[in-house]
Amino acid sequence: MEKKGILVTGGAGYIGSHVVLQLAEAHPTVVVLDNLSTGFADAVIGAKLIIGDVKDKYLVKNILKEYSINTVLHFAAHTIVPESVSNPLKYYANNTCATRNFLECCVEEGVKNFVFSSTAATYGIPPTPTVTEDTPTNPINPYGSSKLMSEWMLRDLSQATHLNYVILRYFNVAGSDPKGRIGQSTQNATLLIKAACEVAVGKRENIHIFGVDYSTLDGTGIRDYIHVEDLAKAHLLALDYLRSGGQSIILNCGYGHGYSVREVLDSVQRVYGKPIKIIESPRRPGDPPQLIAIADKIRDTLKWVPQCDNLDFIVKTSLDWERKLLLKDH
């Protein structure tokens, strides 16, 4: 019998759960493996949740066998950049060593297709504001390095075995399910749009702009923000691409244009309808002035057409989710 099951590691987390929501509507056998260290059981909708760790080789092998898994989407990782700087071994243990053991199980159990959640942090501070997939990788923090090492393992493994992969390098992911079923529930989030929306609903007192003296139009850093719904869709297309015989490939996941920190905060205030408290602070070390994806390759290869490329819409879905969380907490 042909294997057709899909395993999603870290599928109870922010991005993973949005992918699972779309996947479960299109595929019958979707299994989530998550240790719930940062994920939430109630974020897994339409799929079977197994609480456990990708480091547990016995458990992983049993899941791959029992559910006839031939495709894996691997999200399980720590993702907080400042924490990776202060505690690098935590990131190498979880993001790199655990992925190595997990890959070994996948190869031994005949998994054919592997979609890997990577990051624009692999580029570090690139020499140009826009980056292609061929821009040299030069991560400047352990988070970026830990992900790049996993990319290298996948590259080498695919040359030695039957495993094919799509590596998706995310830019700045934001927003939540437009229907309000799930969202970004990460505690102490460091991502700008979520943090600003938390200020709007009263969870935080203020938001900091780190650096107002960059050589950009308004002096603040520029990033490529992508709605989580469009990112999730890219994973489904990547899965279909691999299952129809596509070759291993690395793809940038961004819209191909950026917004400055001030533009994002203006949007939050516009959507919220009132000003929020903003504090201007010095630059943080390691923040590039601009980081924008050149995303032609993903559009061409996967026929990916973003549906949510609108800053106010991204902010609105984030703000709606923060209001929902606030009601939940009370």
Domain ranges of the chain: 5-174+225-253, 192-224+256-329
Residue 131 has pLDDT above 60, yes or no: yes
Q: Strand, helix or coil at 142?
A: helix
* pLDDT value, residue 115: 98
Q: What is the DSSP letter of 88?
A: H
Nearest-angstrom CA–CA distance, 290 and 287: 8
Phi, then psi, of 167 in degrees rounded to 5: -100, 120
Q: How far apart are CA 190 and CA 82, in angstroms?
A: 9
Rounded distance, CA 220 to CA 213, Å? 7
Structure confidence at residue 330 (pLDDT): 64
Longest dimension (CA), the chain: 61
Tokens read off for 42: 């109630």
Q: Across 14-163, where does the E strand assignment appear?
A: 30-34, 48-51, 69-74, 113-119, 130-131
pLDDT of residue 190: 84
Q: Indicate if 192-224+256-329 has the same CATH topology as 5-174+225-253.
A: no
**Structural element, H or E, at residue 245:** none
DSSP state of 131: E
Confidence grade of residue 188 (pLDDT, cut at 50, 70, 90): confident
**Is pLDDT at 32 greater than 80 in this prediction?**
yes
Q: pLDDT grade, residue 328 (50/70/90)?
A: confident
Asked whether the predicted pLDDT for residue 265 surpasses 80, the reply is yes
Q: What is the pLDDT of residue 2?
A: 63
User: Quick one: pLDDT band at residue 156, thresholds 50, 70, 90?
Assistant: very high
Examine the residue annotation and report whether 58 is marked as an active-site residue of this protein: no
What span, in angstroms and rounded, lies between the C-alpha atoms of 266 and 254? 21
The reported pLDDT for the residue numbered 327 is 86
The shares of helix, strand and coil residues in the chain, as percent rounded to the nearest 5, are 40, 20, 40
- The pLDDT assigned to 81 comes to 85
Superfamily holding 5-174+225-253? NAD(P)-binding Rossmann-like Domain (3.40.50.720)
Distance separating alpha carbons of residues 176 and 227, to the nearest angstrom: 8
Query: Is 228 within 8 Å of 279 (Cβ atoms)?
Result: no
| Residue 110, CB-side half-sphere exposure with 13 Å CA sphere | 11
Query: Average pLDDT, whole number, for the chain?
Result: 95
* High-pLDDT (> 90) share of the chain, %: 90
Range from 67-76, 155-164, 180-189, 300-309 carrying the lowest mean pLDDT: 180-189
Phi/psi for 101 (5° steps) reads: -65, -40
Q: Cβ distance 192 to 210 under 8 Å?
A: no
With a cut of 70, say whether residue 1 has pLDDT above it.
no
Q: In what order do the strands lie in the sheet with 222-223?
A: 130-131, 290-293, 222-223, 259-260
List the catalytic residue out of 143, 165, 225, 259.
Answer: 143
Condensed to tens digits (0 to 9), the pLDDT of residues 275-292 reads 999 999 999 887 889 999
Give the whole-number percent of the chain exceeding pLDDT 70. 99
**What topology is assigned to 192-224+256-329 in CATH?**
UDP-galactose 4-epimerase; domain 1 (3.90.25)
Quick check: 55 pLDDT over 90?
A: yes
Q: What is the mean pLDDT of residues 118-145?
A: 95
